[in-house]
Structure 1
Amino acid sequence: MPEWPVYRGTNEPHDGIDRLPAPPPWRAFDGGPLLPVPDESEDLAAVSPDRVHRAHTYRPTAESVDLVNAALFLRRPLLVTGPPGTGKSSLAYAVARELGLGPVLRWNITSRSALADGLYRYDPLSRLYAARATDRVKVEDHLHLGPLGTALLPHERPRALLVDEIDKSDLDLPNDLLNVLEEGQFEIPELLRAGGTAEVRADGTDTKVPVRGGRVRCRAFPFVVLTSNGEREFPAAFLRRCVTLNLRRPDEAQLAAIVRAHLGEPDAEARQLISRFLSRANAGELATDQLLNALYLTGTAGLDADSREALALRLMPGLRQPAPDHDAH
């Protein structure tokens, strides 16, 4: 039976993704041959300590849980906006861990990023050099899928794809990306010409996967998280086709839960530092990761209260300013 919510935000792994209801008819895909979701052990980056820690310690809001489930049910990308340090990218790792979606595929966007970078890379020079040594050269040996191309393979469960800081891209990328995600597929011209089935290396692993007729089409639409710091506006068509989640700076209860998840119960001096941070954070000068850095360093260095205070101020200069007067006109 289908269930809501599939993603619960508990950080406890479960098989709820298997009870995700059928997609809307306009978001159904039929790619093949069906592939299993790879185990995290197949991707060394996926089990790095920082990514594991993110997945274990992320604390979602109730709104985050609802909108993650909306994206999963509707098979739509999730556009996550908000100030730096609010956990936008960590959300993808937490959802993937809880729902067993395998290693998170990550595409870090820059001003030079193009759609082709996310889909696949083809190296014609290496193919040319190989052809000088032997006449038995396969085009697929010089081609590998990118993070987006790998996410769109016909996996039996959705893969998790993090497209980080899409607001840094050039003007064309959001619309180019939208077309691929709307269709759930793309073509590889180099393989189209060859025909048949090719074995192509997937992103993040040396494992090769079959691609038939030069076309990649998904079966389970991937869980796509696009993050933005709000540095630009996106086209209306792009926004219409995304589920949008705006993360705000954490309130006192959320911040306390975040600190406990990362560092354990704060002592008296740490709680004072948290209070000062909360009084200044809304001014936009401070981020949660700065607070965690300060709490970790001042709590482990064996400093007295005055020294901890001085060091925290050096790490977070924004704490030196007086709290904003919200009653002033």
Structure 2
Amino acid sequence: MTGWFVYQGAGGPDPGRIGRLPAPPPWRAFDAEPVEYEVPPLDSASLRRLGESPVPMPVQETETLELVNAALYLRRPLLVTGEPGSGKSTLAHSLAHELGLGRVLQWAVVSRSELKDGLYTYDAIGRLQDNQLGSGQAEDIGRYLRLGPLGTALLATDRPRVLLIDELDKSDIDLPNDLLNVLEEGEFGIPELERIADRPGQETVHVLTDDGRRVPVTGGRVRCRAFPVVVMTSNREREFPAPLLRRCVPLDLEPPRDQRLAAMILAHFGAESYDENLDLVGQFTQAESDGALRPTDQLLNAIFLAQHTARQEPRRREEIAGLLMRPLDRGPR
């Protein structure tokens, strides 16, 4: 394994490796005062993608590892493109698992997504209702502010968080450009707090994070200290503007085949599972010869179903599993 790799795709956790990153380049150094709060551990979202027994990435994936580590060293977002099921989102969870960076912050982008959705939300209606009830809670504006996944990732922690911006190509035309300044400067303002920052006792306000923790925000601005590990994914449904591309490290993931496919099956189904399902693997990979589109989760679903139906109908094992592995671009039979 190349000696400079911090992330090695080793399968198991090694939290100490993130501390081996050298200082960032001067143009990517951020110096906000640290904000301490308890980062939650990996949650079920990561466990679902990684499997119960994550295994090492195959050695031939050296170029993938080089690009991932380049993004870590340069403190730049990783823009991962590939077909559905090629493991783009899973990469973010693998980074968090191996480097011990806690729960992955996830922003699932849709056509209506705006930059503010990722930064923070402000429940003005809830505050107005509490004010009308006279409970006194409305005086604490921080109760009605919640940082989004991107906003939480930019908090000034000593260890970076992992942020997954999933399916950025689904956004409208403005969002990729709107992300530019935040990703470059590593900070943003919350106007609702900036307006009151000069009032006595309002310079620092505690707000909720995407993790449900309360953290202080001073002067109405959130500034990072360790730039987050940002993984942005795309299914190649659109082109991105050049200014965004030059701020990212591009990585194109091919669909998992051979050893990478075997590693994925072993992670989810345990030892010997790949050899026991070679017939289904062969049926799945046969699609490559005619260019059919078959995401990897089709194969995982088929193996799971085959394991449970084989006891009752062993002769129909392949037939039943094949029901779940029809090419997506060919329509129903």
TM-score strictly above 0.5: yes
SS at match of 1:97: helix
SS at match of 1:273: helix
SS at match of 2:230: strand
Amino acid aligned to 2:28: R
* 8 Å Cα contact 2:119/2:152 also seen in 1: yes
Aligned residue number for residue 326 of structure 1: none
* 8 Å Cα contact 1:58/1:91 also seen in 2: no
* 8 Å Cα contact 2:190/2:220 also seen in 1: yes
Amino acid aligned to 2:257: D
* 8 Å Cα contact 2:265/2:274 also seen in 1: no
Deviations 1:194-237 (A, max 9, x none): 110110111022x2001110000000000000011111000011
Amino acid aligned to 1:6: V
Q: State how far apart, in whole Å, the 1-side matches of 2:274 and 2:158 are.
A: 47
SS at match of 1:227: strand
Aligned residue number for residue 200 of structure 2: none
CA positional deviation for 1:57 = 3.0
Q: Which is worse superposed, 26-35 or 76-85?
A: 26-35
CA positional deviation for 1:138 = 1.9
* 8 Å Cα contact 1:163/1:226 also seen in 2: yes
Amino acid aligned to 1:270: N
In structure 2, list runs of 5 or more residues that go unmatched: 198-202
Matching of residues 291-302 of structure 1 within 5 Å: 291-301=299-309, 302=311
Q: State how far apart, in whole Å, the 1-side matches of 2:288 and 2:38 are.
A: 40
Aligned residue number for residue 73 of structure 2: 73
Matching of residues 86-165 of structure 1 within 5 Å: 86-132=86-132, 133-134=134-135, 137-165=139-167
SS at match of 2:303: helix
Query: Is 1:249 aligned to residue 255 of structure 2?
Result: yes
Aligned residue number for residue 319 of structure 2: 310
Deviations 1:239-278 (A, max 9, x none): 1110011000123222222212221323766212211211
CA positional deviation for 1:304 = 4.5
Distance change (3 Å), C-alpha of 1:287 and 1:148:
same
CA positional deviation for 1:34 = 3.4
Query: Is 1:185 aligned to residue 193 of structure 2?
Result: no
- TM-score (ref. length: structure 2): 0.88
CA positional deviation for 1:35 = 2.4
Q: State how far apart, in whole Å, the 2-side matches of 1:73 and 1:243 are.
A: 11
Aligned residue number for residue 237 of structure 2: 231
Query: Is 1:28 aligned to residue 29 of structure 2?
Result: yes
CA positional deviation for 1:31 = 1.4
* 8 Å Cα contact 1:32/1:219 also seen in 2: yes
Q: State how far apart, in whole Å, the 1-side matches of 2:314 and 2:260 are.
A: 25
Distance change (3 Å), C-alpha of 1:269 and 1:142:
closer
Q: State how far apart, in whole Å, the 2-side matches of 1:167 and 1:83 are.
A: 12
SS at match of 2:243: helix
CA positional deviation for 1:54 = 2.3
* 8 Å Cα contact 1:198/1:212 also seen in 2: yes
Q: State how far apart, in whole Å, the 1-side matches of 2:34 and 2:158 are.
A: 10
SS at match of 1:167: helix
Instruction: Count residues in correspondence.
Output: 311
Instruction: Provide the alpha-carbon RMSD of the alignment.
Output: 2.0
Deviations 1:98-119 (A, max 9, x none): 1111110000100000000000
Distance change (3 Å), C-alpha of 1:269 and 1:203:
closer
Aligned residue number for residue 279 of structure 1: 286
Aligned residue number for residue 324 of structure 1: none
Distance change (3 Å), C-alpha of 1:284 and 1:35:
farther
* 8 Å Cα contact 1:249/1:281 also seen in 2: no
Q: State how far apart, in whole Å, the 1-side matches of 2:93 and 2:278 are.
A: 28
Aligned residue number for residue 221 of structure 2: 215
Deviations 1:121-154 (A, max 9, x none): 0011111112221456122111110000000000
Aligned residue number for residue 64 of structure 1: 64
Q: State how far apart, in whole Å, the 2-side matches of 1:150 and 1:208 are.
A: 11
* 8 Å Cα contact 1:166/1:226 also seen in 2: yes
Distance change (3 Å), C-alpha of 1:163 and 1:26:
same
